[in-house]
């Protein structure tokens, strides 16, 4: 679905991504792992159009999408989730879903003035869609809660919910498990698997929790120093010499994270 060829991103004299080449299969939940500073987030940001690449090429379903801005990629169904912006934290969970750009057409002045009837109809459709999303994610009880009051895990579910308000094809999730308790992490994992199976979502997931990666991701890609080191099942990755070395090189405490 996505091919990345020789991708590089340089900050000053430093190459955060240094010639990464990889393929994301349609219909898969691909895990992206690697020690801190490996370039995982930068790779995501370049693919999702948040950062311009220094070199290399990205395609989606055969089309060259290198350097396209996020809103263009968004309309193609390529989404990278973001933390709920500060200005949305005082709005309710349901309102946050209804505000997803592209989910409604009522935002232009023209529409406001000339199509009041259509906007009212769209708004009730949006409301219905938002409620379906809340139900799917099993957070309907939070619909009237202010987004700012949610726990870390609930916020991650809301971020995932925002992708369901538009027709997402591929979603990039960065550190879904960070600061999330075990129960909610399981809920998030279940939601990802169901979106994948029932709604044909393709996912790429960065996460340090190897139990989580092992449970939902196949294949797993390991990056280090801006490059792709290995790809395979989590067990294959764990047994890979270069991967073990890359994790060891960042200190013994990371050793446990690959279970090596």
* Residues near Mg ion (CB under 5 A): 41
Kindly tell me which of 35 and 142 has the beta carbon lying closer to Mg ion. 35
Interacting stretch for ligand ADP, rule CB under 6 A, among 22-30, 34-42, 145-153, 244-252? 34-42
The beta-strand segments (E) located in the chain are: 2-11, 14-24, 29-33, 55-60, 63-64, 78-80, 170-174, 202-206, 220-224, 227-232
Select the residue interacting with ligand ADP from 6, 11, 124, 242 (CB under 6 A). 11
CB of 37 to ligand ADP, least distance (A): 4
Instruction: Name the residue among 145, 147, 158, 221 with its Cα closest to residue 188.
Output: 158
Kindly tell me which of 13 and 62 has the beta carbon lying closer to ligand ADP. 13
Residue 172: φ, ψ to 5°: -105, 120
Which one of Mg ion, ligand ADP, none is in contact with 38 (Cβ closer than 5 to 8 A by kind)?
ligand ADP
CA distance readout (Å), 147 to 89, 131, 242:
5, 15, 42
Which one of Mg ion, ligand ADP, none is in contact with 156 (Cβ closer than 5 to 8 A by kind)?
none
Kindly tell me which of 45 and 96 has the beta carbon lying closer to Mg ion. 45
CB of 77 to ligand ADP, least distance (A): 24
Select the residue interacting with ligand ADP from 6, 26, 27, 37 (CB under 6 A). 37
Buried b (16+ CB within 10 A) or exposed e, 32-56: bbbbeebbbbbbbbbbbbebebeeb
What would you report as the CA-atom Rg of the chain, rounded to the nearest whole angstrom? 19
Kindly tell me which of 8 and 68 has the beta carbon lying closer to ligand ADP. 8
Q: What are the DSSP calls for 168-206, one per residue?
A: -SEEEEE-TTTT--HHHHHHHHHHHHHHHHHH--EEEEE
By the rule CB under 6 A, 114 interacts with ligand ADP: no
Interacting stretch for ligand ADP, rule CB under 6 A, among 38-46, 60-68, 138-146, 236-244? 38-46
By the rule CB under 6 A, 153 interacts with ligand ADP: no
Which residues are within 8 A (CB) of 85 and not within 5 positions of it... i.e. 6 or more apart?
none
Which one of ligand ADP, Mg ion, none is in contact with 163 (Cβ closer than 5 to 8 A by kind)?
none
By the rule CB under 6 A, 220 interacts with ligand ADP: no
Select the residue interacting with ligand ADP from 4, 22, 24, 34 (CB under 6 A). 34
Give the three-state DSSP class for 98.
helix
Kindly tell me which of 42 and 187 has the beta carbon lying closer to Mg ion. 42
Residue 63: φ, ψ to 5°: -95, 135
CB of 14 to ligand ADP, least distance (A): 6
Site residues for ligand ADP per CB under 6 A: 11, 16, 34, 36-42
């Amino acid at each position: 679905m996505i091919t990345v060829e020789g991708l590089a991103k340089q900050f000053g004299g430093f190459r955060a991504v240094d010639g990464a080449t990889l393929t994301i299969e349609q219909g898969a939940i691909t895990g992206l792992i690697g020690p801190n500073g490996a370039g995982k987030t930068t790779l995501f940001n370049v693919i999702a159009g948040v950062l311009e690449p220094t070199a290399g090429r990205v395609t989606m379903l055969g089309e060259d999408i290198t350097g396209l801005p996020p809103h263009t990629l968004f309309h193609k169904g390529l989404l990278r989730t973001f933390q709920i912006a500060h200005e949305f934290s005082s709005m309710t969970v349901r309102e946050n879903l209804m505000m997803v750009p592209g989910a409604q057409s009522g935002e232009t002045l023209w529409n406001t003035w000339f199509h009041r009837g259509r906007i009212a109809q769209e708004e009730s459709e949006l409301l219905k869609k938002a409620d379906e999303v809340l139900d799917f994610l099993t957070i309907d009880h939070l619909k009237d809660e202010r987004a700012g009051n949610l726990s870390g895990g609930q916020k991650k579910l809301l971020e995932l919910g925002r992708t369901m308000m538009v027709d997402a094809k591929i979603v990039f999730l960065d550190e879904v498990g960070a600061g999330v308790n075990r129960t909610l992490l399981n809920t998030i994992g279940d939601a990802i698997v169901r979106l994948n199976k029932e709604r044909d979502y393709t996912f790429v997931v960065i996460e340090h929790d190897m139990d989580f990666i092992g449970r939902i991701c196949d294949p797993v890609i390991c990056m280090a120093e801006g490059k792709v080191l290995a790809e395979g099942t989590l067990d294959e990755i764990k047994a890979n010499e270069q991967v073990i070395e890359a994790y060891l090189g960042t200190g013994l405490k990371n050793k446990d994270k690959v279970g090596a």
